Structure 1
């Protein structure tokens, strides 16, 4: 007959065994390098999510991510145009520093397809060589990386990714993503295959998921369009359906992490490259959205999720996408390059402590770059936000074929109270000259502007 003492010792040993196994597994998980996944929306208004309170657009997967993340509802991108915004996410620098201020060299000074135009496009792509990109830095730490979706700066290899989809300039169709633009719209298999490979090799990874969604062309699946077209103009319904389609693809990627038990050790970052307000009467965007420094152009929710480390919940502070690079690198225990203007938010996100910053900055340039060696030639706005106040300073940089999207009818300073006037209808600069002076001085300290150069290049 087995004594009760022996039974007790046996049960105790089993308990110790399982406790040790669980502890060992947890220790191993915490000692692994942190994976990083970026979800980057393309042309979406900051209001157009369920968790941001939109009454119609359904985004259940991003709503779930928001519940599990530190969410900055007052997030911003410094530049409201995709290419410069994306280079900021690769390098951690403002457009006025990394040099890619617009999407294309101006056709006014070099005929599209000409040798001069190709030279200028190649020079813009080469600006990335001046910086260590996120995939390059992580690659030196042993990370594998995968690019899909938007990428303007040559091939995925040129940007430092070990794997990817974009062939890039100067390949045919290599302007802004070529094969990479298939992701999401034509399935998620490349990302899934990459995750399987990284898991099999037991390698940490970085995923750049920047699909051509909800970007035009607005061609959603019929099943999603049917949900929205009864109560909205067809142009609006298509856009709303595209937002939900993007959400579905994000859900697929997040499920891949869950199914492979990778979610607990993966930092997920969410941001939009720039805003968009759908014109109900056309397939284009409305004024005061994309390309402008108004809220419809630069505001975006920014989210960070890392289970067990980042404290989930709403963060009241201002946030900028300029912080994303140092924050991702810190989460991966990778070196942060000297001179980055953004903040490493990991200490605040893990402790819940407030961010020690009360002002953020941004800049707006023309879509077409007048002078690729002089950012001020295309400078339209500089701006700052501090507390409830937002100041826009207007400049005479050269506009282009998209000039109608830049409402520069007010040449003087524009000051808005974003709490009382979130849609920026009332310029109160004359009523608060002291606020204008304070924020203008801060802008000048952040980005001193030299006198704009005269453009003398002749079209060829």
Structure 2
């Protein structure tokens, strides 16, 4: 993508062999809800998985008292309410394997036929547990699954969601040596090396497909769960990256590789991870549920034709969920991109960990072509455009009255006629 230092030769090669969307996005820039969209094909406000953990709030304590169930289990139970990608492919005879990040209990809870994560309520079962070793300590479990599936002559789904380049940033010294240099902080050098390490494991996975002779008959999809800009003075991320709806938080390359089926090309249309589930289902000849909001992109990818859409949507919620029965209680942003115009609407979702929304709560309108880093808010200069995009957001995901959290001061959205 043009970075001045980080080298990712395996992903570069994948991009050359794929339909690569440079303007790809995830609707929610936080790992758990982002992954929940990839497994259900639904927005966070639809599948109920809006944040990483239930907050210690009165509302969540009340649910625990009423049900006798830990709020963490109540949150996980949302995955039981919707068909998952492994379940839907399972109806077509697919085996499936979970590795890496996975929040929704044991891997079987998501419909995987095999996997690595024990999950809550097992000790340490929060966001992947044993699965987080994949990539960092080798690829043996993934390789064994691919070997087994091919020996059985079974189609398969592989969920490769490594804990890379996630913290802790502890890359192998051999890779860190490539990035350590005078004038570059240690934290930045380590992050750069982690990206390189991640790329290396992706190469190992793609090589495995070649080794088994199945690359020609395998759809490879690449997406990132959220962005990250390394704090040069610490181990964390900067404010406008992970968890934020700004470009550095929610934008990601999205690639689809299927040799002989999908035309390799760099595409500049808008693409969202909400499109991945219906596209995979179409590739597998599986039925696409009517309630999925994403597009089946396969016909466009096969025929290299333009996508008949110029608008995508997203939302941001607090890291900790104030009310697991009421997603709006933790709502921080709703956003829309139409063409190059991007509108952010801000709310004061309440968990005690609110960080990103500006204090004034005013709409933010950006021209992404002229201002890709979103530094100049044009809302006051283009009020009509704000109203138009505001109406699109309201039609997509209307905000209603709620008991927890309050809508920050801003123009009230017009109601649909």
Aligned to 2:381: 431
How far residue 94 of structure 1 moved from its aligned partner, in angstroms, is 0.2
Taking the aligned partners of 2:249 and 2:261, their CA distance within structure 1 comes to: 32
TM-score, with length taken from structure 2 = 0.94
Taking the aligned partners of 1:421 and 1:399, their CA distance within structure 2 comes to: 32
Q: How does 1:312-331 map to 2 (within 5 A)?
A: 312-331=264-283
How far residue 409 of structure 1 moved from its aligned partner, in angstroms, is 2.6
Taking the aligned partners of 2:79 and 2:215, their CA distance within structure 1 comes to: 31
Taking the aligned partners of 2:244 and 2:115, their CA distance within structure 1 comes to: 31
Taking the aligned partners of 2:290 and 2:34, their CA distance within structure 1 comes to: 20
Q: How does 1:53-68 map to 2 (within 5 A)?
A: 53-68=2-17
Q: Does 1:243 align with 2:195?
A: yes
Q: Once structures 1 and 2 are overlaid, which stretch shifts more, 312-321 or 408-417?
A: 408-417
Conservation of the 8 A alpha-carbon contact between 1:61 and 1:247: yes
- SS for the counterpart of 2:349 is coil
Conservation of the 8 A alpha-carbon contact between 1:92 and 1:340: yes
How far residue 410 of structure 1 moved from its aligned partner, in angstroms, is 3.8
Q: How does 1:308-457 map to 2 (within 5 A)?
A: 308-401=260-353, 403-404=354-355, 406-454=356-404
Conservation of the 8 A alpha-carbon contact between 2:27 and 2:34: yes
Conservation of the 8 A alpha-carbon contact between 2:100 and 2:128: yes
Task: Give CA deviations for 1:2-22 in whole Å, capped at 9, x if unaligned.
Answer: xxxxxxxxxxxxxxxxxxxxx
Aligned to 1:131: 82
How far residue 115 of structure 1 moved from its aligned partner, in angstroms, is 6.8
Task: Give CA deviations for 1:292-329 in whole Å, capped at 9, x if unaligned.
Answer: 10011100000000000101111110000000000001
Task: Give CA deviations for 1:10-63 in whole Å, capped at 9, x if unaligned.
Answer: xxxxxxxxxxxxxxxxxxxxxxxxxxxxxxxxxxxxxxxxxx011100000000
Conservation of the 8 A alpha-carbon contact between 2:341 and 2:368: yes
Taking the aligned partners of 2:13 and 2:256, their CA distance within structure 1 comes to: 13
Q: How does 1:144-159 map to 2 (within 5 A)?
A: 144-159=95-110
Q: Does 1:69 align with 2:18?
A: yes
Aligned to 1:143: 94
How far residue 81 of structure 1 moved from its aligned partner, in angstroms, is 0.4
CA 1:111–1:350 in structure 2 vs 1: closer, same or farther (change >3 Å)? closer
Task: Answer with 1 or 2: which has the greater Rg.
Answer: 1
Task: Give CA deviations for 1:115-146 in whole Å, capped at 9, x if unaligned.
Answer: 76962111111111111100001111111110
Conservation of the 8 A alpha-carbon contact between 1:384 and 1:439: yes
Conservation of the 8 A alpha-carbon contact between 1:288 and 1:407: no
Q: Does 1:90 align with 2:39?
A: yes
Taking the aligned partners of 1:444 and 1:363, their CA distance within structure 2 comes to: 12
Gap regions ≥5 residues in structure 1? 1-51, 456-460
Aligned to 1:166: 117
How far residue 397 of structure 1 moved from its aligned partner, in angstroms, is 1.5
Residue of 248, 263, 280 corresponding to 2:215: 263
Q: How many residues align?
A: 401
Task: Give CA deviations for 1:63-96 in whole Å, capped at 9, x if unaligned.
Answer: 0000000000000000010000000000000000
How far residue 109 of structure 1 moved from its aligned partner, in angstroms, is 4.0
- SS for the counterpart of 2:110 is coil
Conservation of the 8 A alpha-carbon contact between 1:146 and 1:207: yes
Task: Give CA deviations for 1:369-397 in whole Å, capped at 9, x if unaligned.
Answer: 00000000000100000111000001122
How far residue 435 of structure 1 moved from its aligned partner, in angstroms, is 1.0
Conservation of the 8 A alpha-carbon contact between 1:367 and 1:400: no
Aligned to 2:412: none
- SS for the counterpart of 1:153 is coil
Gap regions ≥5 residues in structure 2? 406-417
Taking the aligned partners of 2:349 and 2:402, their CA distance within structure 1 comes to: 8
How far residue 416 of structure 1 moved from its aligned partner, in angstroms, is 0.5
Aligned to 1:186: 137
Q: Once structures 1 and 2 are overlaid, which stretch shifts more, 223-232 or 64-73?
A: 223-232
- SS for the counterpart of 1:430 is coil
- SS for the counterpart of 1:335 is coil
- SS for the counterpart of 1:392 is strand
Conservation of the 8 A alpha-carbon contact between 1:145 and 1:161: yes
- SS for the counterpart of 1:318 is strand
Conservation of the 8 A alpha-carbon contact between 2:227 and 2:249: yes
CA 1:123–1:411 in structure 2 vs 1: closer, same or farther (change >3 Å)? same
Taking the aligned partners of 2:327 and 2:140, their CA distance within structure 1 comes to: 39
TM-score, with length taken from structure 1 = 0.85
Q: Does 1:226 align with 2:198?
A: no
